[in-house]
Amino acid sequence: MLDRSIHEITLPLKVIIGSGILDKIPDYLSKMKFTNQYRAGIITGPTTYNVAGRIVEESLKNNGYNVEVWKARDARMETANQIVEETKTHSIKIFLGVGGGKSIDLAKYAAYKNNGYMISVPTAASHDGIASPFASLKGTDKPTSTPTTTPYAIIADIDVISKAPPQLIRAGVGDLLGKLTAVKDWQLAHRLKGEYYGEYAAQLALLSAKHVIRYHELIASGNPDGIRIVVEALISSGVAMCIAGSSRPASGSEHLFSHALDLLAPGKALHGEQVALGTIMMLYLYGDPKWKKIKRIMKKIGLPTTAEEIGIPIETIVKALTIAHKIRPNRYTILGEKGLTEEAAWRLVRETGII
Ligand code: ZN
């Protein structure tokens, strides 16, 4: 029987943020007791291999590590399972996810399935999966995330992340803004449904949103210090999920809306862009006047705030609003059990200026 009095938390052991640190990865690994006796697997993408994967591979090889590289084009469950099998054949113990969301998610899943150690090496700051124990794998029966393992370490090279397309860092801010409504939804579910609520995890997630709000001008300027702030906030949000033991502090109605868009208009916009658009509307549903401020900040940063800017037809956005509550029925949010009526959804997009 599940003992509800025991709450187990696994946190990342080390977080290293700096400039030009990719070729120091062998040092960091050996300091974490991962000497070159351990077999390493780099899970990366075709582009991110050229940007960062190759440097990591070469520096590990130069230090006597036995390294295999997987270049994945997608983060589908089939691809993930194939990597699980191949890494098992090669007896990989250290799984380095070098890339954006896809590579990190695949590495987390492979490490989890093979009982190995996952090292997160992000090349972009576009979402909070960098440090969370969850992976978004496509082609499963649900569009939400799969529980995996907490990254053992996070090694974030600001030089590399600064060179990623600016749209990605903006999306990272968007994912963080979503914590404003995610935490409200968590509190609501606690009050209405008696769901477990952890104040510390909730406050940590909120802090990550407040952090980027406070420094949004610096972030918008493209200054490396601004990028560092986004990276740190994304890690905090991931740690909040580790503490909560679920994605609750980081994912509420705004994420359900984004997942609904993934089903209706896959690949049209970035996760964080969709989440931010959802945040404006969910704050409005809460009657929180802060939605106007958030919209202003999004505009300043360059995040899309209308259907036209995000490149998704308004009818699709309205449809997503009406089906979002069905995406994850046991995650209670402001959308309630029955969701929004079409009429209410149309009013919502008009009132918040999405149309
Ligand atoms: Zn997210």
Give 114 Cα–ligand 1 centroid separation in angstroms: 25
Residue 3: band (very low, low, confident or very high) from pLDDT cuts 50, 70, 90: low
| Torsion angles phi and psi, residue 25, rounded to 5 | -55, -40
Give 66 Cα–ligand 1 centroid separation in angstroms: 34
Give 177 Cα–ligand 1 centroid separation in angstroms: 10
Give 75 Cα–ligand 1 centroid separation in angstroms: 16
**What are 153-197's pLDDT values in tens digits?**
999 999 999 999 999 999 999 999 999 999 999 999 999 999 999
Given a contact cutoff of 8 angstroms between Cβ atoms, the answer to whether 151 and 131 are in contact is yes
Give 35 Cα–ligand 1 centroid separation in angstroms: 34
The pTM of the whole model exceeds 0.75: yes
Give 117 Cα–ligand 1 centroid separation in angstroms: 23
Given a contact cutoff of 8 angstroms between Cβ atoms, the answer to whether 333 and 279 are in contact is no
Work out the burial of residue 88: count CB atoms within 10 Å of its CB; fewer than 13 is exposed, 13-18 middle, 19 or more buried. Answer: middle
Q: Give the residue from 128, 122, 170 showing the smallest Cα distance to 145.
A: 128
Q: How far apart are CA 50 and CA 92, in angstroms?
A: 22
Give 275 Cα–ligand 1 centroid separation in angstroms: 7
**What are 243-269's pLDDT values in tens digits?**
999 999 999 999 999 999 999 999 999
Pairing of strands 67-71, 40-44: parallel
Give 276 Cα–ligand 1 centroid separation in angstroms: 10
Give 178 Cα–ligand 1 centroid separation in angstroms: 8
Give 171 Cα–ligand 1 centroid separation in angstroms: 9
Give 346 Cα–ligand 1 centroid separation in angstroms: 25
Q: Give the residue from 246, 71, 317, 271 showing the smallest Cα distance to 177.
A: 271
Q: How far apart are CA 280 and CA 278, in angstroms?
A: 5
Mean predicted confidence (pLDDT) in 129-147? 89
Neighbours of ion ligand 1 (CB under 5 A): 175
Q: Give the residue from 354, 306, 298 showing the smallest Cα distance to 170.
A: 298
Give 60 Cα–ligand 1 centroid separation in angstroms: 31
Give 183 Cα–ligand 1 centroid separation in angstroms: 13
Tokens of 217: 């001008």
Give 143 Cα–ligand 1 centroid separation in angstroms: 12
Give 182 Cα–ligand 1 centroid separation in angstroms: 10
Residue 142 above 80 pLDDT?
Answer: no
Mean predicted confidence (pLDDT) in 308-333? 97
**What are 27-45's pLDDT values in tens digits?**
999 999 999 999 999 999 9
Give 13 Cα–ligand 1 centroid separation in angstroms: 22
Give 100 Cα–ligand 1 centroid separation in angstroms: 13
pLDDT at position 4, please?
A: 65
Query: One-letter amino acid identity for 70?
Result: W
Give 127 Cα–ligand 1 centroid separation in angstroms: 6
Give 49 Cα–ligand 1 centroid separation in angstroms: 24
Q: What is the DSSP string of 248-286?
A: GGG-SHHHHHHHHHHHHSTTSS-HHHHHHHHHHHHHHHT
